A and B are shown apart, each in its own frame.
Chain A
Amino acid sequence: QVQLQESGPGLVKTSGTLSLTCVVSGGSISSSHWWSWVRQPPGKGLEWIGEIYHNGGTNYNPSLMSRVTVSVDKSKNQFSLKLTSVTAADTAVYYCARGSMLRGFDSWGQGTLVTVSS
């Protein structure tokens, strides 16, 4: 059973860069899945950020595209998120997830809270 685990700083300064990593265990990141980042501001709903395939192909949410980069490291079986020029509006729980068009997002990390503050 695949498991995902997010890691990264819980506090990022305003105008700085948010960087998170998701380690995949119990399965290969080179499987036929897309690997996504989803966030949830406190008390609010879910927002899809972007995704990557093991060959490096990416798709991003246009609302964040200018500030987001998702990358993959197959040797470490992990993928990462970078979000630049952050503001308080980027404060959220960030989840990584495994997904496909047909089967939805079937595995999720437990989430990590990132607070943006000066």
Chain B
Amino acid sequence: DVQLTQSPSFLSASIGDRVTITCRASQGISRYLAWYQQKSGKAPKLLIYAASTLQSGVPSRFSGSGSGTEFTLTISSLQPEDFATYYCQQLNSYPRTFGQGTKVEIK
């Protein structure tokens, strides 16, 4: 199985901050990586696919980069509605796996 390790697991930030979350894969996954946002009690929402493609309707302050084994999700200017847990997911091989999540909270 491909293991995905996100860092940090917890992040405290202020409105307007630039936030970066890293996802490292235990083996190369090309660019078959997606990022999701999950708010409490809700289903995950797709933000980014193919490592860097913004899903339709997602604000442009979200961006993704990387390939192979190292990927990042960046929020350029944190907004109140961005406080949530973020997960990466690899789709290069089976079983599909997710990172452990990064919880973004208000400082």
Which residues of A approach B to under 8 Å, CB–CB? Answer: 36, 45-48, 51, 59-63, 95, 99-106, 108-111
A-B contact pairs, 13 of them (CB 8 A): A46-B101, A48-B95, A48-B96, A51-B96, A61-B95, A100-B91, A101-B32, A101-B92, A102-B32, A104-B36, A104-B49, A104-B91, A108-B45
User: 7 closest pairs, A vs B, by CB?
Assistant: A104-B34, A108-B43, A104-B49, A48-B96, A61-B95, A46-B98, A103-B49
Q: Which of A47, A102, A105, A109 is within 8 Å of B50, CB to CB?
A: A102
Q: Which of B32, B44, B94, B95 is within 8 Å of A108, CB to CB?
A: B44
CB distance from B100 to the nearest CB of A (A): 5
CB distance from A13 to the nearest CB of B (A): 26
Q: In whole angstroms, what is the CA distance A95 to B95 when docked? A: 16
Q: Which of B44, B46, B49 is within 8 Å of A102, CB to CB?
A: B49
B44→A105 contact, CB < 8 A = yes
List, in ascending order, chain B residues with CB within 8 A of A101's CB. 32, 91-92
B98→A47 contact, CB < 8 A = yes
Does B74 make an interface contact (CB < 8 A)?
Answer: no
Does B22 make an interface contact (CB < 8 A)?
Answer: no
Q: In whole angstroms, what is the CA distance A59 to B55 when docked? A: 25
Q: In whole angstroms, what is the CA distance A47 to B96 when docked? A: 8
**14 extra interchain contacts, Cβ-Cβ under 8 A, other than A95-B44, A101-B91?**
A45-B100, A46-B44, A46-B87, A48-B96, A48-B97, A60-B95, A63-B95, A101-B92, A104-B36, A104-B49, A104-B89, A104-B91, A105-B89, A110-B43
